Structure 1
């Protein structure tokens, strides 16, 4: 695999050739209700329009059938390129084949497709290496807990590669010798949603589940856990909570002393990188299969550096 992991947003911009004219780009978002995806699509739209292109945005509502229909409609309407964050990684080979048959440039963003190794040319993935997201989160939480504790793992939608990989990252870190005093006492699918996570944690507290750590696959679920804990009268000094994304709401929670760890996933970097890659492909440039936008650990010590970033 030629993942070219060292290429970041600045390198993506460098491959964008002088544009031959305005184009229309189809953008399929997996979920308008997801805060991170909202930041990503709005940044993509603003960047495309700043370069003289239009972005036609659709909401797949986490339904793979909806997303496949949107891709078909984009192709039928003759868009110049397609950008999507896939609802299901398993559907990406079908989507890639559809775009290739129509010779339409295709850019996956944020959520890694399963056919990553087959991309390149006029198709690419713009996103981060998920083996680092959960690893950075869990390792810092292990340090804060001095290697001992009882943890709950809140997972995203398990058809998404990010949820699977971030969850496995946590398990692997907990398996390290320095963290072997940490026990994962429960794992549940919170589906990336704040309300879903709040309900899960509320039910665990009501049933007497004993835990003092919450490993969440994203900030929305971490915030839901915090909401449930505080509603139950649990002091946030007694629980270590971590997430991923460094969303605006999460950083507010960190400044308030409620959230202990998050990992910056650069929504603007992924958004502008995906638009730049689409334009480059529209202009005949060859793309690498993977344009990597690195993750960065965020803690109370450096949180001020990330305020406003997502």
Structure 2
């Protein structure tokens, strides 16, 4: 199904190649055919291309909505591209945007943490005289921080706006641990004194996913043991890992729903081995898990009904509604408005001639929502925050 969408996107992009981006009501263009550097027109100051890894991502849909408004209010010309979770499609979008005269590329990298993919985009931008603002998805391997962002070759032409990956996991783990200590007997449905959990991870090697998986459990266990309770136990004793990965890399509700449907067929109250807690790397996966639980008679929001605690990350509008309805327990807010504002301010400063490192320093100095990564003056972190717990 996605492959058909890719073909449609590429065809639409080919027809649209060479058309200028618009301002107040941008068309959501698809990538077009690659254009050689020699054919590129002169870049236009303040013309921005925003390349999203996938329009279908719920959190990034919120970022896109906020960023469109911010760029419009800032008077910048912009164009949104849907890269449909395909790196080749994104590479072609970069070529199209540069050929169209975009001097600023805001890139939500498809291949998360893939330095080769990120460097290829940087090299194309550098050759054309454009600047790159990576956002949301890591551009370096977990043990290679600064390999690209700190490279002298890209000085002042690149910045990153994202989050401090471990922070979400720590906040989620502390939230889970505190909740369980206050509701232990209620959550321990089979009364064996141990709480079993399922964990749904967005991607295999994504730093955000890895740290959320690690610290959500580690920090919850720390609080539990300090409170005189045993550590959490993964629901499937025969599982190779203590988590289940969305193999598509899309962090999707569909993958989470499929996993939980299968899980509940084998691990349920009738067999005395019910999953008693669900931890999700994002709210979209939490939504899918809740759909599966509801099909099994749980998390309906009915007073006195059976509820399995489900925790996510992002604080999307859907998650907030699920929490308000008593169907979801808690989430960690990833501030899409603050992320969009930071990207816009960097783009605006760059359009005015400022280097991105100087623009990042000015942004962080003026707003406590932001901080800089240690040792890097162009990597901006947007703070996470606990949203709510029932």
TM-score scaled by structure 1?
0.83
Indicate if the aligned counterparts of 1:255 and 1:300 stay in contact, CA closer than 8 A. no
Pair 1:182 & 2:208 matched = no
SS in 2 for 1:27: strand
65-74 or 155-164: bigger deviation: 155-164
Q: Alpha-carbon deviation of 1:159?
A: 4.6
54-63 or 246-255: bigger deviation: 54-63
SS in 1 for 2:138: coil
1:233 to 291, 297, 316: 297
Tell me which structure has the larger Cα radius of gyration.
2
**Structure 1: distance between partners of 2:254 and 2:327:** 17
Q: Alpha-carbon deviation of 1:97?
A: 2.7
Indicate if the aligned counterparts of 2:45 and 2:351 stay in contact, CA closer than 8 A. no
**Structure 1: distance between partners of 2:291 and 2:145:** 37
SS in 2 for 1:244: strand
**Structure 2: distance between partners of 1:94 and 1:175:** 42
Q: Alpha-carbon deviation of 1:174?
A: 4.8
Indicate if the aligned counterparts of 1:198 and 1:224 stay in contact, CA closer than 8 A. yes
Q: RCO greater where, 1 or 2, for CA within 8 Å and sep 6 or more?
A: 1
Q: Alpha-carbon deviation of 1:22?
A: 6.6
Paired residues in the alignment total: 281
SS in 2 for 1:181: coil
**Structure 1: distance between partners of 2:205 and 2:123:** 20
Residue 100 of structure 1: aligned partner: 126
Residues 1-310 of structure 1: matches in 2 within 5 Å? 23-88=46-111, 89-90=113-114, 91-114=117-140, 117=146, 118-119=148-149, 121-146=156-181, 148-174=194-220, 176=222, 178-179=224-225, 181-185=231-235, 186-190=242-246, 191-208=250-267, 210-235=274-299, 237-286=306-355, 287=357, 288-300=377-389
Q: Alpha-carbon deviation of 1:121?
A: 1.4
Q: Which digits, 9 at most, give the CA deviation of each residue in 1:241-264, with x for residues without a partner?
A: 100000001001001111111011
Indicate if the aligned counterparts of 2:176 and 2:220 stay in contact, CA closer than 8 A. no
Indicate if the aligned counterparts of 2:174 and 2:223 stay in contact, CA closer than 8 A. no
Indicate if the aligned counterparts of 1:226 and 1:258 stay in contact, CA closer than 8 A. yes
